[in-house]
Each structure stands twice: as C-alpha cells, then as structure tokens.
Amino acid sequence: MRLIFGIFIWICFSLPLAHASPPNAVRAELTSPALFQTKQILILNTMNLALLNDAIKFYQQQLQIMLPEQTLSFTVIQADANPELGAKRLANALATHEYDLIVSVATLATKVLLNQADQLSVPMQFMVVADPVSTGIIDKLGQTSTNNITGTSHVIAADTKLQLMQQILSANPRADKYRIGLVYSDYPSTLSSAQYLLEQDENYPAFSFVPVKFNFDTSANNSIENRQRFLTALAQCKDKIDGYWIPPGPAAHDVNLFPLVQRELNLPQLFSEDLRMIKRGALFGVLSDSQIIANTAAIESKQILSGRPANTLPIDRSGAFVIGVNTTTALAHDLVLPSAILTLANQHVYTKNEVNP
C-alpha cells in the first residue's frame, strides 16, 4: 500500500515538471534581444545654429520619454551648411554603421538625404523644413512621399504671418505704406520663402516689401562673412525702409545678427522667426519653437520605430505655433500693438531689457 501511494505522489509531482520550461529558458524569453535591441538613430544637422541644436536636444529627450522601455542611441553629424560636406559625412556614417532611422534637420540636410534616398532602405524623417514641396519631397501638402520619408514643416504658413502683420500695422494708420526691407539670400529655404512673400505683397495694403538680397556663403565657418553680407545689403537701402523682416533660413536664427544691425544701422526688426530675437528687441513673430518642433518629430519617430512605414505618414504643416511681441520696441517706434495680438502672445510678451544683447 505504501509503495502504491509513493508511486502516485511521484507521478503527481513529476508530470507538471516534465511540461514546465526550465528557469533559464523563461529568463531568455523575457530578455530576448528582439525586444530590447538598441535602436540606432542618425541625425544629419544642416548647421550649428541654436534653434536647430535645441530642437535636436529636445527631440532626443522627448523620444526617450515616449519609448521608456526602448534603448536609443543617437549619432549627430554636421553638414556645416555645405551640401558636398554633408553628403560625404552622411555616406561615411552609413558605410560604417547600420541605422534604424535617419533624421535630417532643416532644408539643406534634407536635400542631401533626398539625393541618396533611392539607395537607402532605412526609414527617413525630416524636421525644420520650410517648404517640403519646393524641397522636392512631395507635390503638395497632405501627401505621403514616394520615398520612405516623412516629417512636418515647422515653418508657419506665410499667409498667417502676413495677416498678423497687416493687423498690427493697420492699427497704426499713416499716409503711406510701411516699407519693410525683406532681407533674404539665395539659401534654398530662404529664397523660396522670400519669393512667396514678395508675390503676396499687393494683397496687404498696410505695408509693402522692399527686396534686399545677398549671396549666401556655404563654405565652412561662414557665419561672420554672411553677417557682413547681410549688413552690407541692408545698409544700402537703409533710407528706403522703415524696418526689416528676415524670412526662414540661417540668418533668421543667427543670435549675433540682431545686436550687430542695431549697433551699426539702428533699424527695427519688424518680424522674426526666432523668439530669442524678439526677446532682444524684434517687434513681432509667429513661429514654432524648438520644443514644438521636437515634440512633433518625436511623435512621428515613435510611430516609425514601432513599425509603421515612414511613407504612410502624410506630410503637412505644423498646426502648433507661438506668437511673440516686444512691447518696448513697439513703444520706441510709436506702434500700438492690438489687444488681440497681445492676447495671442500670452506668455511671450517681452521687453528689451529681459535679455542682454
């Protein structure tokens, strides 16, 4: 009887163990490399500008927050505003490493990436591109790309900027139109934006644009030379304008340019694409800041890294933006800022002495 009972007990405990996975097998399944494999992200930056650098930094932080259990590795390479140099550095990076996603920052870097897109199977994404249509990514906004690339244009529609400028200057009537010097270069995103603004000029009765063009130097370490070219072109028409406007592009985010113009020409900057310039004394701007740019880009990257093909994500313009105004500049030039504009600006109403030039 004892022998039969002992055999029964042995069978009861042995059968479950015979079908259970060994402890090591369970541990291996939970820590499978496929689940926790590091995602490699290559970032090609157009140039060393504060707005772009901040957007890249915030983008990395936001994406890691959105993918808390995923290990991410970021490699940032610089084109230094030179297409040939950017293409060479991109080719070198791709030849020495495999990536899960390539992100281009601003128009020049995106054009460099597009030139190699046909040979790449890696999903691609862009940020801070003024016009995806003129850049050659899509035929019209709202489409998906034929290449495996997506992104969002973080430059606010020109019509929105023009309408708000019209609203400001209409509140300050005068006998003749305000003359705004549109200072632009042959840099791709700047040129296309400036051409559109000039075409819309006659639709806004409160002001007119005076074109002020200079040639952009794409050689390495070109900041000082380009500032001087900007300043020289603006100085030549100083007496024909009441202030100036810088369209999207490198000059719009050059933090050293504003104090240089004020010191040498003392002309008001009436519109800016960068909050830092508005803090320093530019009158007005409507824009996406670095955190808006980073958040939008991180949302798209999360979808791509989670398995969605980049070319299934439609490319459109960002709907998020901030408005900034400088009340000290308005007062200095006898301009009244409409209450509606001040309400829209909300937390971005600045005075010149908040930031030292």
Q: Do domains 38-154+290-317 and 158-287+321-354 have the same CATH topology?
A: yes
> What end-to-end distance do the CA atoms of the chain give, in Å?
98
Domain boundaries, the chain: 38-154+290-317, 158-287+321-354
Q: What is the pLDDT of residue 181?
A: 98
Q: What is the mean pLDDT of the chain?
A: 87
pTM of the model: 0.80
- Report the distance separating Cα 252 and Cα 247, nearest Å: 6
Distance CA 72, CA 305 (A): 10
Q: How does pLDDT run across 54-67, given as a tens digit for each residue?
A: 999 999 999 999 99
**Each residue of 299-333: pLDDT tens digit?**
999 999 999 999 999 999 988 889 999 999 999 99
pLDDT at 350 over 60: yes
Q: What does the radius of gyration of the chain's CA atoms come to, in whole angstroms?
A: 27
pLDDT of residue 221: 60
Tell me how far apart the alpha carbons of residues 351 and 355 are, in angstroms, rounded to a whole number: 8
CATH superfamily label, 158-287+321-354 = Response regulator (3.40.50.2300)
Q: Are 79 and 311 a contacting pair, CB within 8 Å?
A: no
Determine the Cα–Cα distance for residues 109 and 126; give it in Å rounded to an integer.
9
Give one word for 201, left, alpha or beta, with left for phi > 0 and alpha for psi -120 to 50. Answer: alpha
Cα–Cα distance for residue pair 184/195, rounded to 1 Å: 9
Which of 20-24, 89-93, 200-204, 272-276 shows the lowest per-residue confidence on average (mean pLDDT)? 20-24
Using pLDDT thresholds of 50, 70 and 90, give the confidence band for residue 185. Answer: very high
39 in helix, strand or coil? strand
Q: What is the pLDDT of residues 196-244, one digit of tens each?
A: 999 998 999 999 999 999 999 887 567 889 999 999 999 999 999 999 9
Q: Which fold has domain 38-154+290-317?
A: Rossmann fold (3.40.50)
